[in-house]
Amino acid sequence: MRVRKPKLRLAAVAALAALAVVAAGCTGSSTTTSSGKPVKGGTVTFGLVAGTTPNYIFPFRPLTYFSVYNAQYFEYLLYRPLYVFGGNNQSVTVNYSLSPADAPVYTNGGKTVTINLKGWKWSNGETMDAKDVVFWLHMMDADLSNWGGALPGGIPTNISSISTASANQVTLHLTKAYSSLWYTYNELSQITPMPMAWDVTTMGAAPGSGGCTTDSSADHWAKCKAVYNFLAGQAKDSSTYASSPIWSVVSGPFKLTSYNSSGADTFAVNPKYSGSPKPRISTLKYVPYTSQTTEYTGVSSGQADIGQIPPQDLPEKTGSPGVPSTNPLASAGYNLEPFYDFGFDYYVVNWGNATYGPVFKQLYFRQALEYLVDQSQMATTIYRGYGYPTTGAVPTLPANKWIPAVQHGDGPYPFSIPKAKSLLTSHGWSEVGGVMTCTDPAKCGSGVAKGVKLNLNIIYTSGVPAFTSEMAVYKSDAAKAGISLSVSPQSFNSIIGETVPSNHSWEIGMYGGWSYGLAPEPTGGQLFTTGAGANGGQYSDATMNKLIDETETSSSLSVFHDYATYAAQQVPFVYMPNTYEIMGVKNNLHDVVFSPLYWIFPEYWYFSK
Question: Is residue 312 a contact partner of residue 387, using CB atoms and an 8 Å limit?
Answer: no
459 three-class SS: strand
Q: Are residues 359 and 498 in the same domain?
A: yes
On whether residue 494 sits in a domain, the answer given is yes
Residue 97 burial (C-beta neighbours within 10 Å; 0-12, 13-18, 19+): exposed
The reported pTM is: 0.83
Q: Are residues 559 and 418 in the same domain?
A: yes
Domain termination site, one of 226, 250, 274: 250
The mean pLDDT of the chain is 91
Pairing relationship of beta strands 2-3 and 508-515 according to DSSP bridges: antiparallel
Report the CATH number at residue 203. Answer: 3.90.76.10
Q: Are residues 551 and 410 in the same domain?
A: yes
Is residue 206 scored above 80 in pLDDT? Answer: yes
> Which of residues 536 and 141 earns the better pLDDT score?
141
Of 531, 525, 487, the C-alpha closest to 509 is 487
On whether residue 34 sits in a domain, the answer given is no
pLDDT (tens digit per residue) in 421-468: 999 999 999 999 999 999 999 999 999 999 999 999 999 988 778 889
Of 511, 549, 558, the C-alpha closest to 530 is 549
What proportion of the chain, given as a percentage, has pLDDT over 90? Answer: 77
Q: Centre a 10 Å sphere on the Cβ of residue 25 and count the other Cβ atoms it contains.
A: 12
On whether residue 391 sits in a domain, the answer given is yes
What is d(CA 345, CA 382) in angstroms, rounded to the nearest whole number?
15
Domain termination site, one of 250, 267, 290: 250
Per-residue model confidence (pLDDT) at position 532? 87
Q: Are residues 383 and 522 in the same domain?
A: yes
Number of domains in the chain: 2
Domain termination site, one of 250, 267, 291: 250
Is residue 474 scored above 70 in pLDDT? Answer: yes
pLDDT band at 92 (very low <50, low <70, confident <90, very high): confident
Q: Are residues 116 and 231 in the same domain?
A: yes
Give 123's contacts (C-beta < 8 A, 6+ positions apart).
Answer: 248, 249, 250, 251, 255, 270, 272
pLDDT (tens digit per residue) in 56-65: 999 999 988 9
**β-pair partners for 327:** none
pLDDT (tens digit per residue) in 378-392: 999 999 999 899 999
254 three-class SS: strand
Q: Are residues 359 and 472 in the same domain?
A: yes
Q: Are residues 233 and 348 in the same domain?
A: no
pLDDT (tens digit per residue) in 261-278: 999 999 999 999 999 999
User: 223 is in which domain, residue-wise?
Assistant: 101-250
On whether residue 73 sits in a domain, the answer given is no
Is residue 303 scored above 80 in pLDDT? Answer: yes
Q: Centre a 10 Å sphere on the Cβ of residue 249 and count the other Cβ atoms it contains.
A: 21
Q: Are residues 492 and 390 in the same domain?
A: yes
Q: What is the mean pLDDT of residues 77-97?
A: 94
What is d(CA 335, CA 584) in angstroms, rounded to the nearest whole number?
6
Of 18, 60, 30, 12, the C-alpha closest to 234 is 60
Is residue 17 scored above 60 in pLDDT? Answer: no
On whether residue 63 sits in a domain, the answer given is no
Q: Are residues 241 and 347 in the same domain?
A: no
pLDDT (tens digit per residue) in 519-566: 889 998 889 999 987 898 999 999 999 999 999 999 899 999 999 999
What proportion of the chain, given as a percentage, has pLDDT over 70? Answer: 94
Alpha carbon distances (Å) from 244 to 96, 203, 204, 248: 30, 9, 11, 6
On whether residue 536 sits in a domain, the answer given is yes
pLDDT band at 156 (very low <50, low <70, confident <90, very high): very high
Phi, psi for residue 199 in degrees, rounded to 5? -85, 65
Give 236's contacts (C-beta < 8 A, 6+ positions apart).
Answer: none
pLDDT band at 35 (very low <50, low <70, confident <90, very high): low
Per-residue model confidence (pLDDT) at position 168? 98
On whether residue 255 sits in a domain, the answer given is no
Report the CATH number at residue 399. Answer: 3.10.105.10
On whether residue 500 sits in a domain, the answer given is yes
Q: What is the mean pLDDT of residues 576-580?
A: 91
Residue 33 burial (C-beta neighbours within 10 Å; 0-12, 13-18, 19+): exposed
